[in-house]
Structure 1
C-alpha cells in the first residue's frame, strides 16, 4: 500500500547517499509498514542546486502555462483519490472517509490556485512627476523551503507545492517523516502534471538538521512551515538571520463561545463533530468550549452523548468514525491532560483513557469543571479531548478566550447580530467563524496571529506571500 519511499531530487527518485533509515508506523496496529531513507547533506546540496535551476526555469514560464500544470495536478489528485486516501489512513490513521475528503479539499485548493496564478495583478499609480508613470508589480521570491506536518499529509504538503508553483517559485518540500508515502505520491503526480524536473524537490531526514541546513542556504529565499509553536519560533529566528520571508502556520487553542440564544441542538451537533474530526488533531478545531450557564447542562448532555456515540477503530474499518491518534506522543499527552485535569478538580464525563493495548486509540473525552489554569485549558491538546466551562458575563469570557498567546481560529454561536458583531471583532484570531465551524476556503486567506503564526496561505494573499513587490518609475522623453 505504501509506495516505495525515496527522495525526489532533480527530477529523479533516489534513496539518497545516506545509510540512515526510519520506520514508518501504522498507528492503528503499531506495525512497521515501510522504511524511510533519510537524506545526507550531499542530498540536500543536490536538492538546493536543483531548486536554483528550477527557479530560473519556472519563473520564465508564462502564467497560463503554470496554471495548466496546476490544473492537471488537481485533476490527477481526484483521479487517484482512493490510492492517496489508503496511504493517508495507513500512515496517519484517520478514517478512509476523512482521508477522501482531505484529497478532495486538496484538489479544490490546487485548482483555485491554478486559476488565481493567472490573476496576479499589479497596478498603475498616478505619478507626481511629468512624463513619468509608476508601476507596481509582483515577482516570485525565489526557491522556497517548505515544511509540512503529519496531521493532514496530503493537504498540507500539496498546498506548499501549489502556492510556490502558482507564484512562479521552485520548492524543496520536507514533509513529515511519519507520513512520507503521501508526499511521495504527490511528487509523482506533480511531475506527471508537467512540472519541470528541477521545480519540485522532496527530501526526508532529521527534521532539525534538514530545516537548519535548507534555511541557512543562500539559495533559499523563503520559508513556509506548518507546525508547532516552538518549531515555528525556531524557524522564524533562523530565517530572520538572513532576512528571509517566512510564512508560519502554527498551533492554536480555539475558543468556542456559545450564547444562550443559540440553536443549541444545531450548535452541539456542529461542535462535537468538529472537535473529534481527525481524532482531534486539527489545529483550527474548537478546543475550549465556553457555554452560557443557562444552557450549560443541555449543551454538555448532548455533547457528551455525541462524543460517546463515536465508533473508535482502525480507519480502514467501514464502521469507524474516529481513528487512532497519530503517534505515541499524542497518546501520552492525552493521558497527561486528563490526569492534570482530574488533579485540579475536573470531571471526566466520558472517555478519559486509552482504548485497548494495541494501536494508538484514545477514547473521545469530555471534561467539565476544569479550572482555567489546567494544562488542557492553557496548552493545545491536539487530540480527542474537549473541556467545557460555563460563563455568565460576555466580557469576562472574551477576556478568557483571548488570554492565551494563540490566535489561530475562534468560534461564536448566537442569534443576535449585535452579539455576533461584537464577538467577531473582540476575539483575537486570524479566522473567526460565527454560527458555523468552517474556517478555511481556497478563496479566503488563512493564518494566525500571536503565537499562531505569521503570513497567510490561500486567497490571493497566499500567493503574494511568495512574491516580492517591485515599484518601477518609468520616465518618457
Structure 2
C-alpha cells in the first residue's frame, strides 16, 4: 500500500508546506524513509489553541446523543478501515499486522463503550430542608492537551481522543512524530463521523517546544500524557505552574511472580507471548520474572525454548511473530542494558544481538541470574529482553516485586486461592493479573501508582478524569 500524505490537522483543515521544518518518518523494518512530516511552528500552535477554545464552547453544550453518535460512527468507520489503519501502523511502527489489527479493534471497543458512558455522567441531589436545594454536577474540564507515544500508534491516540470527546471537552493531540499517520487516521474517523473540526486538533513538532507552548497557555485546562517517567515528571512540573489537572500513564517494569504450584506450561505459553508482543515495547510488558526456587530450572528451560522459536521479521510478512523495534534508539538501549548486565554477572541464555543489517531487528533475549545492581533491573528496558531470577519464598518474591518505584502492571501465577488474594493485595501496582496476562479492557481503568503515574484511562474512570465536580447550593 502507499503510505499517506502527512499533515497537521487544525480547525478541520489539513496544514502542510509553508516552509515548515519536517521530520522523516522511517519504516523500522527497512530503515527507508516513508514520508516527511511537517512540524508545527508557534503560529500553528496558537491556531490550534484558538480552535480548541472555540470547539470547547461548542462541544460542552452538545447532548449525550450527539457525542454518542460521533463515537459510534467513528467505531464503525474503524471497522471498515481496519486493514488500512493496521497496515499504516505496521509500516511506521513495525509491529506485526496481526497485532495492529487487534489494536484497531481495541479502539472500536473503547469508542463504543464511551458512547454508552455519555449517558451516565451523573450528578446527585443532596437532602436539604424545605425551600433549599443543593445539587452536585459533573462538567467537562475544558480543552485538553494530550500527548501519545509511538508504541501503540492506534490505541494511544484513541484513548487520548475518546475520553475528552465523550466528556464534552475539546482536545489537542500531539502524537509521536515516529507514527503520525496512524493518529491522523483515527482522528479522521471521528471527523468523518461528524465531529466538528474545531473540537479535535492534531499537531506534531519538537516535543519540548510543543509541550511548553501548549501547557503555558491558560486555554489548556488538563493534560493527559502517556510515556516515560522522566518525561512525565518534566511535563507534570510544567502543568503544575498553572494548576492544570493531569492524567499520567508512565513507565513500568512489570514483575511476574511464578510460584512452585503454578501451572508452568500455561504460564509459559502466556507470558512468553506477552513478553515479546510488540518487541517488548509495551509499558505493561512482563519483564522481571521472579521465580520460586522449586520450579526455577524448569521455568527457565521452558522459557528459553519458547523464546528461541519466535520468528522475527517484517511485520507485514506472513509468519512473523515479532517485528522490529521502532527506532534505532531502542537498539542502542538494548545493547547498553544487556551488555551491562552480562558484565555484572548475568548469564545470557539466548539472544542479545541485532539481527541483519537492515531495519531495527533484535533477537528475543533471555537473561538469568542478573544481579540487582544491573541497570536493566532498575530501569525500564522497553524491549525484547526477559530477566529471570530465583527467589526462596513468597515473602522474598513480593519484596522484589515492590522494590522498584514503578507500579504499573504486575502478574502472579499460583494455584493457591488464598495466596492469590494475598499477592493481589500486597503488590504495589495499578493493575494485577492473577494467572492471566489480560489486565485491560474498555470497561476497566488503566493506570499505575508510584513512578508509574496517577489517574486512569479507559472505563468510567477515563471520562471521569475529563470532568470537574461542581456543587450548587440554592437558598
Smaller-chain TM-score range? over 0.9
CA offsets per residue over residues 188-223 of structure 1, 9 Å max, x none? 211101001100100111100001100110100000
Within 5 Å, give how 1:61-100 maps onto structure 2. Answer: 61-100=62-101
CA distance in 1, matches of 2:114, 2:169: 13
**Equivalences, count:** 474
Q: What is the aligned-residue RMSD (CA, Å)? A: 0.9
CA distance, structure 2, for counterparts of residue 18 and residue 173 of structure 1: 22
Query: 2: CA distance between counterparts of 1:160 and 1:373?
Result: 37
Does the 8 A contact of 1:7 with 1:16 survive in 2?
A: no
Equivalent runs, 1:42-121 vs 2, <5 Å:
42-121=43-122
Look up the match of 1:389. 389
Distance 2:20 2:69 in 1: 38
Mapped to 2, the partners of 1:209 and 1:349 lie a distance apart of 43
Three-state SS of the structure 1 residue aligned to 2:355 is coil
Shift of 1:125: 2.2
Residue 130 of structure 1 deviates from its aligned partner by 4.2
Q: TM-score, normalised by structure 1?
A: 0.98
User: What's the offset of the Cα at 1:260?
Assistant: 0.6
Which residue pairs with 2:16 in the alignment?
15
C-alpha displacement of 1:123: 1.6
Spell out the pairing of 1:460-471 with structure 2 (5 A cutoff). 460-471=460-471
C-alpha separation in 2, matches of 1:157 and 1:401: 30
Rounded to whole Å, the distance in 1 between the matches of 2:19 and 2:214 is 17
TM-score for the superposition, normalised by structure 2: 0.98
For structure 2, the 5+ residue unaligned runs are: none
Structure 2 SS opposite 1:117: helix
1:300 and 2:262 matched = no
- The answer on whether the counterparts of 1:17 and 1:39 sit within 8 Å (CA) in structure 2 is no
Deviations 1:360-414 (A, max 9, x none): 0000001101011211111101000001001112112211111111010111111
Aligned 1:248-259 pairs, distance under 5 A: 248-259=248-259
After the TM superposition, which of the residue ranges 272-281 and 106-115 deviates more from structure 2?
A: 106-115
- Residue in structure 1 matched with residue 146 of structure 2 by the alignment: 146
Q: Distance in 2 between matches of 1:17 and 1:49?
A: 20
Residue pairs, 1:412-427, within 5 angstroms: 412-427=412-427
Runs (4+) of structure 1 exceeding 6 A deviation are none
Q: Give the whole-Å Cα distance in 2 for the aligned partners of 1:425 and 1:238.
A: 34
Instruction: Name the counterpart of 2:219.
Output: 219
Q: Is the 8 A contact 1:292 1:390 kept in 2?
A: yes
| Deviation of the 1:329 alpha carbon | 0.7
**Aligned 8 A contact 1:3 1:184 in 2:** no
- 8 Å contact 2:292–2:397 — kept in the other structure? no
- Structure 1 unaligned blocks of 5 or more: none
Deviation at 1:91, TM superposition (A): 0.2
Q: Are the counterparts in 2 of residues 59 and 169 from structure 1 also a CA contact under 8 Å?
A: yes
Q: Which digits, 9 at most, give the CA deviation of each residue in 1:65-121, with x for residues without a partner?
A: 100100001111111000001100100000100110111111111111111111111
State the alpha-carbon separation in 2 of the partners of residues 306 and 126 from structure 1: 62
Q: What is the rounded CA distance, in whole Å, between the counterparts of 1:137 and 1:188 in structure 2?
A: 32
